[in-house]
Structure 1
Amino acid sequence: MRCLTIAGLLFLCYVTQGVKHFRLGRGKGGNLGAPGGYSGEKLPPAQWFKQRLDHSSPSDLRTWKQRYFVNDSFYDFNKQGPVFLMIGGEGPADPRWMVKGAWIDYAKKFNALCINLEHRYYGESHPTEDISVKNLQYLSSYQALADLANFITAMNNKYKLQRSVRWIAFGGSYPGSLAAWLRLKYPHLVYAAVSSSGPLLAKVNFMEYYEVVVDALREKTGGEDCVTELKSAHNQITAMMQTHPHIVEKEFRVCKPFEGASENDIKNFYNSIADDFADLVQYNEDNRISADVKYKNLTINTVCNMLTSPGSEPAYKKLAAFNSIILEKSNQTCLDYSYDNMIKELRNMSWGSEGARQWMYQTCTEFGFYQTSSGEIEVFGNQFNLDFFIQQCEDVFGKKYNADFVQASAEWTNSNYGALDIATTRVVFVHGSVDPWHALGITKTQDNDAPAIYIKGTAHCANMYPRSENDSSDLIEARVEIEQYLAGWLGLP
């Protein structure tokens, strides 16, 4: 999910043979990138809030320091306007979001006070000494929402805000869900919310993810050729794995030969090359800071053009060339498909990790969200089914986290928040047709007091990024529509 965080996440690239750069629908560092267009503007310093560790136990007085950022440059404390709260998510908060992005444009228009609270257990907000299973028990959407409620109350007191001041929550990806849930659970504190690309339905077998990936290839290219070539490439790889595995090893630059590879190793290999396309589609053409400007033009259309280009090269070679680009982009020297290496990394209980362990814990205990191959067997094969992901939960966190546990956890989440039947008002749900996460969100208005905006042709959290001259008319219109909802809710022109 990763888009993950929210408030802007850096792509942390370093030379490695280990961790996948894209796991469980989450990019390294989280699901939201840093906003494009930043050119050295002064950034607000980090501030620290004394937060409670366990909101479920009133008698537990343990506390920790939670990071947040404030931009009050548009605010008149003598004539108090709204407060905009950007919700942190599955990665570190990035202060560049305090000066760039659509929400900043809205803040300038409505003279809002802008605050961004980092999510517990991500970035530099460390509630416990490590991230052992015992300590991860305090990582949940429930605790995160309670953090926000406690924080809002404290900021009302700190800034001496009048009771009439209205708080508006903003979030993208998992924090898009949190924004809606915050409005649902704490309506006395949060007046309205903008929920961007938020998956509201917890679903263990998220087979629809790759179905949307394939549909997005068709939508953006206007035909079937790219899907056909991708299907051919995977069929060729599957056949060669039986007869000439050394060719696949060489073309896909794997870190070790397939000889002696376990069943889970092979599943991880297939999942990795499918993830290359998932990553490409999920963040297609968004206006964020790229790890390198030379990859800015890495889009569905350019990659599909590469796959469908005329010539004698077989489809698998073209897919391997794309894989090499992804390895280079993420500074990986080779494709490490080792299941044991992945599990070892996810078992790391120190704070030095970049959030993958924490996000996986949340998928195992709350959401599922496992992007299985079950929905697009013809294109990607069926090498990474649900059992593959449940096995990871058990291997990383313990046998308790089995299929029944994960399913029961997702059902509890849906029961607690309402899933796609969420009963709330003054929330605008925003999704893009190219974003696979829209399959778990509200894309059609069911209640005029909780409208939906479905943006044709855009990907994950596209409406949150700064304006660009390359924005489609549909994206431009969506940003205007969001502004109009905010104006109406705030009673402002």
Structure 2
Amino acid sequence: MKLLLLLITASFLLNEVYPWRIFRNGRMVGGNVGIPKPDKRREGVRDIPEEWFTQSLDHFNPTDERTWQQRYFSNDQYFDSTAGGPVFIMIGGEGEASVSWMTRGSWIDDAEKHGALLFQLEHRYYGKSHPTEDMSTENLRYLTSQQALADLATFITAMNKNYSLPADVKWIAFGGSYPGSLAAWLRFKYPHLVHGAMSASGPLLAEVDFLNYFKVVSESLATYSDDCVTAVQQGVDQIGTLLKQEIGQENLNEMFNLCNPIQESLENPSDISNLYETIADNFAGVVQYNKDKRMNNRAAANITIDVVCEIMVNQTIGPPVNRLGKVNELLLSTYDEKCLDYQYDKMIDSLRNVSWDSEAAEGGRQWTYQTCTEFGFYQTSSYEPHIFGDQFPISFFIQQCEDIYGDIYDADFIDGAIDRTNTLYGGLDIEVSNVVYVHGSIDPWHALGIIKTVDESAPAIYIEGTAHCANMYPPADTDLPELTAARQQVSELIDSWLKN
């Protein structure tokens, strides 16, 4: 033990970090679908201005006449109106809509091929689409997937009129991550408006305790080596040992560059749970976006499973807990952060802020609300063996719902909410045609999606070796053959839908 304590390393970085800003509840800051890299094949494309659509606040209460302005983008540069070209719509999700998607991404290749008119509709309560004066819990009652789908249906109906589109025009929906779920559900709920849908990395099964998330994270780390997984588990176990000793606590403060001394939190189980979950999320975020084509943070894109596992198996750094510290140091530095803030009350206070000008308005408060009221998706430490420890069980996440939004959002409420969502959409038993489900084996979210074809009219494409929404990004020379083949298969399916 003395050797372990002597080998502890320190790290001193730049700014203060709040882990719930970067990666939390399986959501990366900015949303789970990133900004696609520029496509060299399409340099000098036209400027795409933002546009606004008058939307109903509550689609399911005809006596409520309140409206708001929803942001969208359009691109008609490929549209062949004389040939009755189709319409493609990119569904916005748990982050700000990016105009970059209007000229980049694999869907642009299909739009050019078929002469499609393009739209992207930002999701209510995210980005600049603010339906209410603030994000109070009372106002968030209008933040539901059902309302979002009705937004899409209303928008599609209006655009058909605005563009004088023929009655038999075919709309194809595209979405990745939560919008991937919405794409499938849109086709399911509004088949008279949407002819087909590409659902990438979409979790279709709402689940309170998403324990298989970290199962897939562990399996994905094992694609590098079993030694990497073993080292992670040993490092996490050593954190527990250090927490029991005064000198060990001091070393943890330095090793993980904690914003507040761990001694202040020894009597607060929620702080300790938050610390363990944050360390686990260091690996989860890397795995979820392993070798993708996002350009939100170029430095972060270079941090892959190979990079973190090379650190974890490097015995010259010291014991496994030291290596966990080095991974943490790398990520803090990458996101230009000074220290790791793990304190529970600070996180809760931040997520209680109802102002559109707050940091929580980036999407953290909204997405947490949707997990509490519709989806669950809580990535707990319930999976055995406990590679990342057992300090963040489902009760830890349910408590957050109560602390942020009120006591009504307890375990019984959330259980009922998840049952309702699966009843509304069918979970993994959804019966729908002209939908393609695309998932990557590295992406933990595939555990809640359809990865095997049951109905040929709604096939699944499971890509070995790729992560979250990989098929949506522009093609690159470094793409795995399986990824290239998946894009081609999606394109062929769209061809067949448009012919029928």
The TM-score, its normalising length taken from structure 1, stands at: 0.95
CA 449–312 in structure 1, closer or farther in 2 if over 3 Å, else same:
closer
Distance 2:460 2:350 in 1: 39
**In the alignment, does 2:119 pair up with 1:111?**
no
User: Which range moves more in the overlay, 230-239 or 114-123?
Assistant: 230-239
Distance 1:79 1:474 in 2: 33
Q: CA deviation at 1:378?
A: 2.8
**What is the one-letter code of the residue matched to 1:288?**
R
Counterpart in the other structure of 1:478: 486
Q: How does 1:371-390 map to 2 (within 5 A)?
A: 371-390=379-398
Q: Is the 8 A contact 2:171 2:193 kept in 1?
A: yes
Distance 2:472 2:483 in 1: 10
**In the alignment, does 2:313 pair up with 1:332?**
no
SS in 1 for 2:222: helix
Q: CA deviation at 1:260?
A: 2.6
Distance 1:338 1:41 in 2: 46
Q: Output the aligned Cα RMSD.
A: 1.3
Counterpart in the other structure of 1:92: 96
CA 73–41 in structure 1, closer or farther in 2 if over 3 Å, else same:
closer
SS in 1 for 2:30: coil
**In the alignment, does 2:229 pair up with 1:237?**
no
CA 18–311 in structure 1, closer or farther in 2 if over 3 Å, else same:
closer
**In the alignment, does 2:15 pair up with 1:18?**
no
Counterpart in the other structure of 2:434: 426
Counterpart in the other structure of 1:317: 322
User: Which range moves more in the overlay, 203-212 or 320-329?
Assistant: 320-329
Counterpart in the other structure of 2:9: none
Q: CA deviation at 1:164?
A: 1.6
Q: CA deviation at 1:327?
A: 1.1
Counterpart in the other structure of 1:78: 82
The percent of aligned pairs where both chains have the same amino acid is 53
Counterpart in the other structure of 1:360: 368
Q: CA deviation at 1:311?
A: 2.3
Which of residues 288, 304, 308 in structure 1 aligns to 2:309? 304
Q: CA deviation at 1:376?
A: 4.0
Aligned length: 476
Distance 1:295 1:19 in 2: 15
Distance 2:377 2:464 in 1: 23
Instruction: List structure 1 segments (4+ residues) > 6 angstroms apart after TM superposition.
Output: none
Q: CA deviation at 1:19?
A: 4.9
Distance 1:297 1:336 in 2: 24
Q: CA deviation at 1:290?
A: 4.0
Query: Please, which runs of 5 or more residues in structure 1 have no aligned partner?
Result: 1-13
Q: Is the 8 A contact 1:85 1:169 kept in 2?
A: yes
Counterpart in the other structure of 1:289: 295
Q: CA deviation at 1:284?
A: 0.4
Q: How does 1:254-293 map to 2 (within 5 A)?
A: 254-261=258-265, 262-291=268-297, 293=298
Q: CA deviation at 1:319?
A: 1.3
1:327-385: CA deviations, max 9, x gaps? 12222211000100000000010112211000000000000000001004431110000
Which of residues 343, 348, 364 in structure 2 aligns to 1:343? 348
Counterpart in the other structure of 2:106: 102
User: Which range moves more in the overlay, 229-238 or 336-345?
Assistant: 229-238
Query: Please, which runs of 5 or more residues in structure 2 have no aligned partner?
Result: 1-13
Q: How does 1:439-454 map to 2 (within 5 A)?
A: 439-454=447-462
CA 322–312 in structure 1, closer or farther in 2 if over 3 Å, else same:
closer
**What is the one-letter code of the residue matched to 2:241?**
A
Distance 2:118 2:45 in 1: 16
Distance 1:119 1:22 in 2: 20
Q: Is the 8 A contact 1:149 1:186 kept in 2?
A: yes
User: Which range moves more in the overlay, 251-260 or 39-48?
Assistant: 39-48
User: Which range moves more in the overlay, 437-446 or 77-86?
Assistant: 77-86
Q: Is the 8 A contact 2:290 2:305 kept in 1?
A: yes
SS in 1 for 2:73: strand
Distance 1:239 1:114 in 2: 56
**What is the one-letter code of the residue matched to 2:374?**
E
SS in 1 for 2:322: helix
**In the alignment, does 2:169 pair up with 1:180?**
no
Which of residues 217, 224, 230 in structure 1 aligns to 2:221? 217
Q: Is the 8 A contact 1:254 1:334 kept in 2?
A: yes
Distance 1:310 1:263 in 2: 31
Q: Is the 8 A contact 1:365 1:410 kept in 2?
A: yes
Counterpart in the other structure of 1:10: none
Which of residues 134, 137, 143 in structure 2 aligns to 1:133? 137
Q: Is the 8 A contact 2:16 2:259 kept in 1?
A: no
Q: Is the 8 A contact 2:252 2:262 kept in 1?
A: no
Distance 1:174 1:137 in 2: 19
Q: Is the 8 A contact 1:19 1:345 kept in 2?
A: no
Counterpart in the other structure of 1:3: none
Which of residues 419, 422, 425 in structure 2 aligns to 1:417? 425
Q: Is the 8 A contact 1:43 1:98 kept in 2?
A: no
Q: CA deviation at 1:77?
A: 1.9
SS in 2 for 1:67: strand
User: Which range moves more in the overlay, 328-337 or 276-285?
Assistant: 328-337
**What is the one-letter code of the residue matched to 1:440?**
L
Q: CA deviation at 1:40?
A: 6.9
